[in-house]
Structure 1
Amino acid sequence: MARASTRPTSRDVAHAAGVSQAAVSLVLGGKWRGRVSEQTAERVREAAHRLGYRPNLAARNLRLGRTRTVLLVVPALTTEFFAGVYTGAARVAAEHGFGVVLYPSPQGIGPARDPFGSAQAALDGVIASSMAADALTAIRGDQLPLVMLDSDPAGSLGAATVNLDIADGVRQVTEHLLGLGHRRFLHLAADVSSWTFDIRARGLDARLGAVPGTDVRRARAPLTIEGALAAAQTALTAPGPRPTAVVCDDDNLAAGAYKAARRLGLRVPDDLSVTGLDDLALARAIDPELTTVRLDAELFGDRGMRALLAVLEDRTPPAGDIPVHLVVRGSTAPPPAI
């Protein structure tokens, strides 16, 4: 009867590389720099590869007192953007032997129970969007190593923050519309209390306030197409000169602005230019295609997970916001002649 194959152990790797088991542990645990030489580390990696060695994560986790599980707290699971954030975070987590559990904020798609009963006992850390920050207290996630996404670096709950350069995205949109000749604006703002949306409003006001002859109206709407339709229709029919450009806090609001324009007999972009922010699939599905700011959601999740790994290893996460880019499509044009 054939003997079952024996899984190689760290002792086997140590013997093959001619080093101690302690050295193998340091190298395969990524903590060898300054403690063993580069040549030794390479011998260990080569021996592990040749033998097909895989570390026993379950045993390692018991020794470290870790579960190698991270919680990603998002406003809703049905949002395309946060699906991208999850994809990026999960990919990096898997590369480092971690798993990611999603937790929707009660303010998202509905009430969600604490997925663990005791988050502190079952998690190594948390990544949370500032839009879902209220959920942290409910699950005691704010008492764990925490990285905040889209959060004010000066007043964040987290040990680190990771941000997209939303302020620059607003600047790019504003410069584009000003360059086309627009001076009367409607800001269709998300009716959500969040730093990331405050940045949009402040950036727009600051840039347009520096240009003589500009006028800005602001209408708040829930983050739904129907809510944006109602808010935009009301704002576009208010007394006074009608805005010639609508700056929307996200692409769903822009879709609502499209519907409002059509109900009022306005053509996009001939009578009304519209911009979004996100570059969701929706931006290319509507007609004309939407001028919007592309946010790399997967890179956002990637950077968030790398920042949390740095916090867990007592390293300083990389600094600097993630660049964003204006994508000009058919929804913007010079304002109509007076």
Structure 2
Amino acid sequence: MSIGTVSHVLNGNTKARISKVTQDRIRSAAKELGYRPNQLARSLWRGKTDTIGLLISGFRNPFFVDVVESAESAVLACGYRVQSASAPSAHGTFRAHADVFNWPVDGVIMWADAGQTLATYMGPRAAQTPVVYIGSIRTDDTDWIGFDSYGGGRLLTEHLVAKGYRKIAYAYPADWQPGHEDVRFLAFRDVCSEAGITPRTLLTANRDETCSAGLDLGLAIARMRPSDRPDAVFCHNDTIAMGVYSGLRRAGLRVPDDVAVAGCDGIEFAQCLEAPLTTIRIPGEKIAEQAMHVLNTRLKSEAKPAQRVQTILPTELWVGGTT
């Protein structure tokens, strides 16, 4: 039996004309010997690794854990392996990572802000790597699956206005600059303006988008004079909102009677509060599934796509007990 015949069978080459009896003998012998293919050699020979890279920022936010789990399930369902890497936030300091993945990948699903690209983290290799961006609505010639953050921001702010709140503040991490890239804040500002309300902003004491940062902010809000204190706080995400809620409660204030609190993401943990959190639900699972469908289509086709896939998924207002 030739080396070539064994190689064809173990590498799954269905084009080679090898009898079923011979194939069974080879596989049986490989099993007895404990043979495991050398993935590096196989990848070099085939020119692909059957591995998809997931590049996600903000693993400290539980929302992204859910996104990664959904993306991994979608990748595995398509027959690929998964390699995950963490990308520093665009709002912090970072350097280019030419080798962000420890193993070559055939394609990448990347959660990115509108100004981020794969080249930031993979350098020149990004030009030869198919990528589907998820999260933000982009204007460049790329494939992306985004969500309606502006629409969600409007829904939540309109809900607060309809409930009668007039001293509404938007809470965000200290190193963020609410502006043209933060469409959620723009929605908040626009609705406040339409309602004749002066929009306020609050900053956490540090850069973190965490529950502890929100806790400190909640305690700081509680220390304000009642005349200066907001009557509702729209937090940039659920983790900050959970912290603000806890800080207010710890200081003896009632939520929502004294101060209402709302967030954005729709994480499961936020529904475990004594008063479930009012939030904007982002369809993370659908985003991940659609992104992998697009990427798989790109990998199966050698031709350059005639048209990019650019999809905006709706968000949903979920009203809990904190507003």
Q: Is TM > 0.5 for Structure 1 vs Structure 2?
A: yes
Assess, with a 3 A threshold, how the Cα gap between structure 1 residues 165 and 196 changes in structure 2: closer, same or farther.
Answer: farther
* Counterpart in the other structure of 1:149: 134
Assess, with a 3 A threshold, how the Cα gap between structure 1 residues 197 and 243 changes in structure 2: closer, same or farther.
Answer: farther
The one-letter code sitting in structure 2 at the alignment partner of 1:88 is: S
**Identity fraction in percent:** 27
Mapped partners of 1:145, 1:291: distance in 2: 37
Mapped partners of 2:255, 2:100: distance in 1: 45
When the two structures are superposed, what TM-score results if normalisation uses the length of structure 1? 0.70
Mapped partners of 1:71, 1:201: distance in 2: 31
* Counterpart in the other structure of 1:209: 193
The one-letter code sitting in structure 2 at the alignment partner of 1:282 is: F
Counterparts in 2 of 1:112-123, with a 5 A limit? 114=99, 116=101, 122-123=104-105
SS for the counterpart of 2:313 is coil
Q: Which moved more, 1:196-205 or 1:243-252?
A: 196-205
2:314 to 308, 323, 334: 323
Assess, with a 3 A threshold, how the Cα gap between structure 1 residues 197 and 264 changes in structure 2: closer, same or farther.
Answer: farther
Deviation of the 1:63 alpha carbon: 7.2
Mapped partners of 1:329, 1:262: distance in 2: 16
Q: Which moved more, 1:62-71 or 1:217-226?
A: 62-71
Q: Which moved more, 1:127-136 or 1:268-277?
A: 127-136
Q: Which moved more, 1:290-299 or 1:230-239?
A: 230-239
Q: Identify unmatched segments of 5+ residues in structure 1.
A: 1-5, 14-57, 333-338
Mapped partners of 2:167, 2:152: distance in 1: 19
SS for the counterpart of 2:144 is strand
Deviation of the 1:135 alpha carbon: 7.9
SS for the counterpart of 1:72 is strand
- What is the count of residue pairs matched by the alignment? 280
Q: Identify unmatched segments of 5+ residues in structure 2.
A: 1-8, 18-38
Deviation of the 1:291 alpha carbon: 0.9
The one-letter code sitting in structure 1 at the alignment partner of 2:82 is: V
Deviation of the 1:136 alpha carbon: 5.0
Assess, with a 3 A threshold, how the Cα gap between structure 1 residues 62 and 134 changes in structure 2: closer, same or farther.
Answer: closer
Mapped partners of 1:105, 1:243: distance in 2: 34
* Counterpart in the other structure of 1:229: 215
Counterparts in 2 of 1:59-74, with a 5 A limit? 65-74=47-56
Assess, with a 3 A threshold, how the Cα gap between structure 1 residues 238 and 127 changes in structure 2: closer, same or farther.
Answer: same
* Counterpart in the other structure of 1:30: none
**RMSD over aligned Cα atoms:** 3.7
SS for the counterpart of 2:202 is strand
Deviation of the 1:259 alpha carbon: 2.4
Deviation of the 1:247 alpha carbon: 0.5
Mapped partners of 2:317, 2:241: distance in 1: 15
Mapped partners of 1:76, 1:256: distance in 2: 17
Query: Is the contact between residue 89 and residue 100 of structure 1 (CA under 8 Å) also seen in structure 2?
Result: no
* Counterpart in the other structure of 1:245: 232
* Counterpart in the other structure of 1:84: 66
* Counterpart in the other structure of 2:155: 172
1:286 aligns with 2:280: no
SS for the counterpart of 2:74 is helix
Q: Which moved more, 1:290-299 or 1:131-140?
A: 131-140
Deviation of the 1:232 alpha carbon: 3.9
CA offsets 1:36-64 (integer angstroms, 9 cap, x no match): xxxxxxxxxxxxxxxxxxxxxx8997676
When the two structures are superposed, what TM-score results if normalisation uses the length of structure 2? 0.73
Mapped partners of 2:181, 2:281: distance in 1: 16
Mapped partners of 2:219, 2:45: distance in 1: 61
Counterparts in 2 of 1:248-327, with a 5 A limit? 248-312=235-299, 313=301, 314-315=304-305, 316=307, 318-327=309-318
* Counterpart in the other structure of 1:94: 76
SS for the counterpart of 2:255 is coil
